[in-house]
Structure 1
Amino acid sequence: MKHLAGRLGALLAVVAVIGLLPRLTRTDPALTILHARYADRPPTPETLDAIRAETGLDGGPAQVLGDWLRGLLHGDLGVSWVSGQPIAPDVMSALGVSLSLMGVSLAVAVLLAAALAAGTLRRGARRRIVTTRAGTSAAVLAALPEFLLAAVLATVLAVRLGWFPALGWGTPGQAVLPALAMGVPAGALLGRLLDDALPAAFAEPWARSAAAGGLPGRRIARHALHRTLPGLLPQIGMVVVGLTGGAVAVETLYAVPGLGSTALGAALAQDLPVLQACVLLLLLLGAVAGGGARLATRALLGPALRDGNLPALVPPKLPARRPLLAGAVVLAVLLAAVTLAGLLRDPLQVDAAARLAAPSATHPLGTDSLGRDLLARLGHGAARTVLTAVAVSAATLVLGLVLGAVRAGALTETANALPAVLTGLVVAGIAGPGPWGAAAAVTAVAWAPLAAHTSALYAQERAAPHLAAARSLGAGRWHLARRHLLPAVLPPVLRHAVLRVPAIALALASLGFLGLGTPAPAPEWGRMLSENMPYAERAPWSVLAPAAALAVLGALAVLTAAAVQGRNRNRAGAA
């Protein structure tokens, strides 16, 4: 009950921040409304005061929040600052589109997960030695952000090959590419998790006893799948939460009139009532998905096992870390070489005669629509992105250590369930788009995994016998922290933070792709991808160059993490 109250309190705090957006924004809402609706009127104090009184913005924060919450209870989502029309009809229509897209994307994810795990189930049914087969390729695919996959699919399948429509919504063909862009990374994640869990299930004593007793292999495989699902269902809930964040970029790229694209347009236009409604509905979708996954898990386990009596699956031994580490080193060297080569060039030099030029000796990766060298922009963008990611990682490390030590469990779970894109929209609504806002948005959620890691290590170390012995000898609190707790907690959490730098760089790139990060003309990988999408048919290299760089970054993150995880897990198994 205490845990549930904590999670509810954290969720209500997030809802309160959304409700207070009109008071938190650094711009005057009355000016926004005046410029949108009454452009011919001068911004006199009397006019602005009249607009505030008309919209209820003349009260304090408590009144603004109270009016918004009362409107929600009566089904009133407010009035758009830009159009002056009620929000509810358009937002509910967008909700229906987003639910349809998420449903199709989830179906794609489930089918892909089943395909990835089918070989393992087949070998288990035939009573062969079962090992995980989904491998690192599935993990790399799962690490690719939706906006990157959406851009590549649109460039190759829609623009170059013409197999599917590139824009719009309403026909089955228009749903294919958005569903693939959102469903493939989710399905790769679920398939990898399922494929990792099945060998451990087939190796348990019940499976060997069933096989020895003559139980058909298909029934054993079915029971093994049932054994793994309780651990997988919470991940399905997290996948749906991830779909809410991925919908923003995918809907925007494919011109799908859903909640994601509506929220982004509202954030860029500072139409905060529309942004409030969209972000709130996206959060509710994620909360409902998480709650549904927990209920499904309890129903699947039954009363005998739902209280924690189900033994944990022993994870299989991971592949040798040397090939993974070698792959990570190769990718790191490649990325460093591209960065150094690009840093020697001018990323802002415009050559109008070489607009959209193909790769050549002068421009090894070609040029963009303004004639700027893509290699130069990739190199300078890498330096900018990596430096920002390192700074954000340092901030998340401090936050993770502090909040993990005080065991802010409910806050950690809430932050971990919020996609960075949603926090980016909220920050953009408060401070406007910009690099500092993007960094703050990623920092606001990226600390959660580090805090959970810190909390687990802190609890483990506090229960260690040597700490009790030091206490009995009269050691004080600061001595225990300096000599025992910090040396045990800080190094592994620091390594964890370093491993998360590429993932944070991808999160920053996703915000740049949406126009919420570094503004033009500064080079930034996500913005490069979005700027060059209109020229994908004429100059596909202008899209594929930043896409390849982002894909290498995602693969580097996966290979490095897998190498370290494999070393740690195999050490534990040997011990």
Structure 2
Amino acid sequence: MGSRGGALLWRAAPAAALVCGIGLLPWLSHTDPALTVLKARSADRDPDPEALAAVRTRLGLEEGPSVLLGRWLGGLWHGDAGRSWISGTEVAPAVGQALGASLLLMAVSLVVACCTAAAVCARTLHLGARRRLHGRIPGGSLSAVLAALPEFLTASVLATVVGVRLGWLPALGWYGPQWTVLPALALGLPAGAVLGRLLDDRLPAAFAEPWASAATARGLPGRNIARQALRRCVPGLLPNLGLFAVGLTGGAVAVEQIFDIPGLGRTTLQAALAQDLPVLQAAALALVALAAVTTAAARLAVGRLVGTALRDGALHTLHRPLHTLHGRPSTVRRILPLAYGILLLGVIAAGFPRDPLALDTTTRLRPPSTTHPFGTDALGRDMLARVAHGALDTLLLALAVSALALVAGVLLGLLPRLSGPLVDTVNAVPPVLAALLVTALWRGGGATPVVAVAVVAWVPLAAHTSALLRQERATLHLAATRALGAGRWYLLRRGILPAVLPPVVRHGLLRLPGVALALASLGFLGLGAQPPSPEWGLLLAENQPYAERAPWAVLAPAAVLALLGALAVTATGRAGARVGGAR
């Protein structure tokens, strides 16, 4: 009981610390809450010391952090989240309405994501059911492009083309179910492509297990075999599905902005920018509660799917060397990563000698030409130069953050008792919310996107590592090796790491465009780099108003992001093969 009580206490401690940190935001913030309230409610009144002191007394900000936290927690216990500093209205009803809109959007987006994931791995399921997976390399470039598409760019294109020009679906507002379709597509397609790739990476090993051969020999229908292969692989991805659910709720700020959706992400952004901390507190607390629910649901689903096998140690390992599963990759498959890499480096090399800040108002919004291969922007600046120089601000940072996230995710994932509560807690903080909290506490700056993304980027990799570790520990071959007297380090080096590292490394490479997109999204929302920086997210934000007149100004940075995604995805198999073969 003591050990179990200690585990429960450790699991609750990070969540409690996060809740207390949220409650102390008015005290931790470097801004003066009294000045914020005075400007919002009495814009014409001078912020003299007497007026500011009166506001602080009315808000109870001079009573100290412990009293401030106790009063906030006591209000929550009675369903009172306080009043907005800007409007003076109660916070709880407004945040509840925003959460309802975001939950509806999240549910429809998850449906789109699951359908997209099914389409990505449909061919593998079909070939595996017919026992024809030899030579099959999971995934393709289309899923790479989908995974690398910026959500805000997809949302802009859908709103402009499908909503405005074609008029098939409403593009702005939030008045009924049909208003959810376009934003759900913008959110669900990239998320589904990532989930589909992760699932497609595991399915060949599931079809290679002895039960699949026995089922085929007994004449069971192929659809039944495919269904069981899915059931075998899905538990390892359920923690990441929970992360997607929280991210689609609190991290859909850009999409909510474009489609004018009164969701939780947009409400949080507006509250943070206006320094309306009571609203920011309530929104962050709602995400903490959502993270707890999704984590519990994921654990329950894993227990229902493979709980007995995990308890009895009756699983087979899903790790196989890639060449035994897929055969030798074709020449095209081998040269694709090299081709994509050369193309990306070629774009950067061609644009780097050019001046990204040179203005020429006589060449505003010029289409691509020999002089300006990527065209020009609204100020006449060369888009090729800006994209190339932006690579230093976006690509190198994404590589550094991804590498740190991979190392931290693997190390913490191998210690699930230590990292489990941290994963559950940080899961409640999407990159956008992390950036908002950083902005609220330290006034933001150029380092805000890096800090915000680095804080949360390791979480999906740690969750994936822990899920694979749990399943691998329950395998028959590991139990047999342990029975023969193998020590803990031998089992880790020879049994666990060769099974866990390849898929997690491929997952980390697959997340590289997502890290770049997270950095770009924060720049797009104005939480990162500021003009005239050529950071890719800022390029998309600056040129979005001209998307109809000058689509090349938006397509240039978007195409480079898609190229980065294709490079990452095509490199996952080879990188995973090297890791898996390094025994």
TM-score of the aligned structures, taking structure 1 as reference length: 0.83
Q: Which moved more, 1:310-319 or 1:265-274?
A: 310-319
Report the Cα offset of residue 96 of structure 1.
Answer: 1.1
* Counterpart amino acid of residue 227 in structure 2: R
Q: 2 CA distance for matches of 1:519 and 1:297?
A: 44
Does the alignment pair 1:563 with 2:567? no
CA distance change for structure 1 residues 401 and 114 in 2, over 3 Å: closer, same or farther? Answer: closer
Say whether the 8 Å CA contact 1:77–1:273 is kept in structure 2. yes
Instruction: Tell me which residue corresponds to 1:225.
Output: 230
Equivalent runs, 1:345-494 vs 2, <5 Å: 345-389=354-398, 392=401, 408-410=418-420, 412-414=422-424, 417=427, 418-447=429-458, 463-464=488-489
Structure 1 residues 365 and 397: CA distance shift in structure 2, 3 A: same
1:251 matched to 2:262: no
Aligned-partner residue type, residue 545 of structure 1: A
Q: Hey, what does 2:523 align to over in structure 1?
A: 512
Quickly say closer, same or farther: Cα 1:424–1:309, change in 2 above 3 A.
farther
- Structure 2 residue corresponding to 1:119, chosen from 117, 123, 129: 123
SS at match of 1:225: helix
How far 1:530 sits from its partner (Å)? 1.7
Q: Residue 428 of structure 1 contacts residue 437 of structure 1 at CA under 8 Å; is this kept in 2?
A: yes
Q: Give the stretch that moved more between structures: 507-516 or 551-560.
A: 551-560
RMSD: 3.8
Report the counterpart of residue 481 of structure 1 in structure 2: none
Matching residue of 2:285:
280
Task: Give the superposition deviation at 1:372.
Answer: 2.7
* 8 Å CA contact 1:80, 1:274 repeated in 2: yes
CA gap of 1:152–1:290, structure 2 versus 1, over 3 A, is farther
Question: Is the partner of 1:421 in helix, strand or coil?
Answer: helix
Query: Cα deviations across residues 420-453 of structure 1 (Å, max 9, x unaligned)?
Result: 2221121122223421222221222235578899
The 3-state SS of whatever aligns with 1:81 is coil
Instruction: Report which stretch shifted further, 48-57 or 203-212.
Output: 203-212
Deviation at 1:286, TM superposition (A): 2.7
Find the partner of 2:195 among 190, 198, 223: 190
Where structure 2 has 5 or more consecutive residues not aligned to the other structure, the ranges are: 479-485, 493-503
Counterpart of 2:27 in structure 1 is 23
The match for 1:212 is 217
SS of residue in 2 equivalent to 1:335:
helix
Bigger drift between 79-88 and 97-106 goes to: 79-88
| In structure 2, distance between residues paired with 1:20 and 1:311 | 48
Q: How does 1:26-425 map to 2 (within 5 A)?
A: 26-126=30-130, 128-129=132-133, 131=136, 133-135=138-140, 137-154=142-159, 156-158=161-163, 162-301=167-306, 303=308, 305-306=310-311, 308-315=313-320, 317=325, 320=329, 323=332, 326-389=335-398, 392=401, 408-410=418-420, 412-414=422-424, 417=427, 418-425=429-436
Q: Is the 8 A contact 1:536 1:543 kept in 2?
A: yes
- Distance in 1, matches of 2:153 and 2:359, equals 26
Deviations 1:390-449 (A, max 9, x none): 665687689779978998424652466343222112112222342122222122223557
The alignment-based identity, stated in percent, is 56
Deviation at 1:173, TM superposition (A): 4.1
CA distance in 1, matches of 2:343, 2:219: 54
Q: Judge which range, 427-436 or 317-326, deviates more.
A: 317-326
1-structure distance, mates of 2:330, 2:27: 52
Matching residue's letter, 2:537: G
Q: 1:148 to 1:329 in 2, by over 3 A?
A: farther
Q: CA deviation at 1:152?
A: 4.2
Cα-to-partner distance string for 1:458-511 (whole Å, 9 max, x where unaligned) = x999944799xxxxxxxxxxxxxxxxxxxxxxxxx9999999766543321121
Q: Deviations over 1:227-279 (max 9, x none)?
A: 33333433322321332344122212222110011111112222221112122
Decide whether the 8 Å contact of 2:239 with 2:463 is kept in 1: no
- 1:97 CA displacement: 0.8
| Residue-by-residue CA offset, 1:4-61 (whole Å, 9 max, x unaligned) | 4333222222222222221221111111111111111111111111111111222222
User: Aligned residue for 1:486?
Assistant: none
Alpha-carbon distance between aligned partners in 2 of 1:256 and 1:140, rounded to the nearest angstrom: 26
For these two proteins, the number of residue pairs brought into alignment is 548
- Amino acid in the other structure paired with 2:353: L
Structure 1: tracts of 5 or more residues without a match: 468-492
Whole-Å separation in 1 of the counterparts to 2:415 and 2:15: 19
Identify if the C-alpha distance between structure 1 residues 314 and 346 changes in structure 2 by more than 3 Å, giving closer, same or farther: closer
Task: Assess, with a 3 A threshold, how the Cα gap between structure 1 residues 169 and 32 changes in structure 2: closer, same or farther.
Answer: same
Sort the Cα spacing of 1:370 and 1:59 in 2 relative to 1 into closer, same or farther, 3 A: farther
Indicate whether 1:546 and 2:546 are aligned: no
Looking at structure 2, the residues matched to 310 and 362 of structure 1 have their Cα atoms a distance apart, in angstroms, of 61
Contact 2:543–2:553 (8 Å) recurs in 1 = yes
Partner Cα separation in structure 2 for residue 514 and residue 403 of structure 1: 31
Please tell me the residue identity of whatever aligns with 1:75: G
Aligned residue identity for 2:419: G
- TM-score, scaled relative to structure 2: 0.82
Q: Distance in 1 between matches of 2:44 and 2:184?
A: 44
